[in-house]
A and B are shown apart, each in its own frame.
Chain A
Amino acid sequence: MLGADALVKCLELEGTKYVFGYPGVAICPFYNSILSSDIKTILIRTEQNAAHAASGYARVSDSIGVCAVTSGPGATNVITGIATAFADSIPLIVITGQVDSELLGSDVFQEADITGAVESFVKYSYLVRNANDIPRIVKEAFHIAQTGRKGPVLIDIPIDVQNSEVKKFSYPESVSMRTYKPTVKGNMVQIRKVAEKLSKAKRPVICAGGGVILSGAQDSLRKFADKYKIPVVSTMMGIGVMPTKDPMYFGMVGNNGKPYANRAMNEADLIIMVGARVADRAISQPDLIMENTVLIHIDVDPAEIGKNAKPSIPLVGDARHIFDDLISQEITGNYDHWLNDLRIYRQEMEPQRDPDPSYVDPAAFITMLSEKMKDNGIYVADVGQNQIWSCAYHIVKKGRFLTSGGMGTMGYSIPAAMGAKLACPKRQVIAVCGDGSFQMSMMELATCRQYDVPIKIVVLKNRYLGMVRQYQHFKYNDNYSVVDIGDLPDLGKLAAAYGIKCMKLSNMKKADQVIDEFLKNDESMILECNVDPYDLVH
Chain B
Amino acid sequence: MNKKVFQIIVDNTSGVLSRISGLFSRRGYNIESITAGVTADDRFTRITIVASGEDEVLDQIEKQVAKLVDVRDIRELYPESSVYRELALVKVKADATLRDSVKSIVDFYKAKIIDVGYDSLIIELTGNSAKIDSFLDILRDYEILELARTGIAGLCRGTEGVLYLQ
Contacts and interface: CB of A to CB of B under 8 A. Distances in A.
A179 B11 contact: yes
Contact of B69 (A179, A301, A302, A305): A179
B42 interface: no
B70 A306 contact: no
Contact of A301 (B67, B70, B166): B67
Nearest to A125: B15
A324 B89 CA distance: 59
Contacts of A120: 22, 26
Contacts of A303: 60, 63-64, 66-67
Contacts of A310: 56
A144 B60 contact: no
A179 B43 CA distance: 11
A180 B22 CA distance: 19
B104 interface: no
B contact residues, range: 20 to 34
B22 A306 contact: no
Interface string A298-311: 00011101110010
Contacts of A302: 63, 66-67
B18 A119 contact: yes
Q: Which of B15, B18, B26, B66 gathers the greatest number of chain A CB atoms within 10 Å?
A: B15
B56 to A, nearest CB: 7
A306 B60 contact: yes
A310 B15 CA distance: 33
A178 B66 contact: no
Contacts of A306: 56, 59-60, 63
B72 interface: yes
B71 interface: yes
Contacts of A119: 18-19, 22
A301 B56 CA distance: 16
A303 B14 CA distance: 24
A527 B83 CA distance: 70
B10 A179 contact: yes
Nearest to B63: A303
Nearest to A303: B63
Q: Which of A301, A302, A303, A307 gathers the greatest number of chain B CB atoms within 10 Å?
A: A303
A469 interface: no
A179 B71 contact: yes
Contacts of A123: 69
Nearest to B44: A178
B162 to A, nearest CB: 17
Interface in A68-119: 115-116, 119
Interface string A179-213: 11000000000000000000000000000000000
Shortest Cβ-Cβ A-B pairs, 8 listed? A303-B63, A124-B69, A179-B72, A180-B69, A179-B11, A303-B67, A303-B64, A120-B26
Given A127-B15, A178-B43, 16 more contacts: A116-B18, A119-B22, A120-B22, A120-B26, A124-B69, A144-B69, A178-B72, A179-B10, A179-B69, A179-B70, A302-B63, A305-B63, A306-B59, A306-B60, A307-B60, A307-B63
Interface of A: 115-116, 119-120, 123-124, 127, 144, 177-180, 301-303, 305-307, 310
9 contacts: A119-B22, A120-B26, A123-B69, A124-B69, A178-B11, A180-B69, A301-B67, A306-B59, A306-B63
